A and B are shown apart, each in its own frame.
Chain A
């Protein structure tokens, strides 16, 4: 007698269902599918609401009455959850207000000016001797400033340059008898030391300064010996790429590029142990993780930022899974180098430096999942809802089911690797020619990409960062056309919304969301793509090396990408490009030729059940 079954896959963020009828000979006919957001934490009885919802909707699209439902199959969810944290590991400190390198949008004049700093009020009494650099506080009108500078110049005072508090550089320079370099918008202008030798340099539009960003240029101006030149070299480096800058020579002035003692990570492998300092960066951390793998647990040095970071991850995982903290073990760790824009300590103009940071994602293996409890709750709910004879079975391990589902993608064959690119974790499973299956779960996926984009662009808005992750960019150059990120132009019949004008926008196909701030389209695109590469490409290679026979990627024929991030517009290409040298066929899955990268586990559950009930092994019946 044919049976009506529904396979249900409870994921971290979405619950998917496939409805099918299974003939007495084990033949499977898929009728409909549905998906809904997962309710509650995966593997807890709160999942019931989401499950009941998708089962009903899958049956409705299949055109089957709830009362005819025979079997619901649930996946044995992998008992892993993931968490992440970020720690800044460098900071830039300016002492004695030695340097102003804040790159105002509109500096004035061109060239290099060297002289002694003098307050605006004292300019009138300054004798005509050595060249001076005038420091003009906020509140002085541009015409007054220009007038005083002109008057001083006429008296014979060599005014070599000016530093302004207001955004007035162009206005002042336009009113001067002779052009001098002027830097403006120095917010804490009262902190600029007076009576000190200083240099101001302004480059032309699109250029960057040459002298102050060169250690020997500074040595020439300030007549430094070799030892002092070594001391100022961080100053020169900090100013690289700026259009304008000021350097003041003070007795103990310095710019320090300090490494924050972040603490170390202790990696406990099943056979080996390693300790690695977080401030050494992601490459060394990941090398250590690989050396000790398989990981058994990770702890951070007590009393350090790293210690706090790991403790936070552990605590939030414990809260989420309702386990004791002692039961939470970190089974995988992904470290990613990133940089965070932060205000420079000691800066006088709100200078921002990109500080190095390390982002960590941790994968935690919890005790057994509570799937049996979920199954019982689902059975109660569905029986109450009219499916009186329904049986709810926990039908198979997630990774195995995903492989069975993935094999229904047209054009695939064994040996095949499924890469499930989710929100919290990247999961891989290999099925070899003999049908044996091996799986691995790695930390770091879509959520970490969002977090990196948020941090690196300084957005402080995860929703916007998520939008940037998902959608291509454009710039609304007029009300009727948008320059897309590939350089082409899209025209519109109706004027664009006023909020989008002149802004970089995300294009999700229906609407445009303007991105605030001054980031250029190229910069946002670079941040987005490198964030995806640093996580998904790295994790793809990492997971394939783990599951591939003998760690040799060439032994893998096919890689099928599944999960929400496989729907992304560029992640599949980035991974395919990275895998191409190994002769691997890589692409986004198309489950049963119709479902795209969705529904693999649910389809696999049904196929596996059909195979079992017919007493034959089912490979890839579609």
Chain B
């Protein structure tokens, strides 16, 4: 067995959109070791969510292979838990039922489910909300439930698709700190998609900047700053400037592309 936990080898993805072929991903090569916190960073349309969905098994790549735990990814599975931007909680289930759902599918016993659910709700500060329905929770609380739901599966890999994108700045920072705490404690391998440069620097061990169409790896760098990171520090800001320039280049290409296709139409 190799030391990497997730191996993405020569992955490409082609979509047909409006009669034209769009190359969303091209020759992506990433090897992610156990316990690493990776952020995929780039403007919208750079294929970062496409790549995450491929690892999750929702939309398989057109070429290349993805292996997790040395096993080829062919379908979604609970060992690769996904946290969606839209929370995707089941609105007809209470908080505790949402968290217990995956365990029930797995066939865990009732006392075991109760023990795990109670511990997770406690960890995420949701204990007093366990009988509530999602509609009665704030966005931040909903995303906590979604994280608890994935943690309940004890997935070694967590895939997060702009999970904090819809939250206000304070709630967002709060959840980022919580996520870092959980990650440090449980040693998960995390792939986290974001378009926020600051969020990527604040969270990640490693940042993968992606190019706009075709989506390729533009830059793959390690963040060496000690945690918890101070967004006001000079080192943080130097990195932010560097990454900002990279992302902006891709953003420009995205912009030109949109102007051009508008001109064609």
Asked if chains A and B come from one complex, the reply is no
Binding site for A on B (CB under 8 A): none
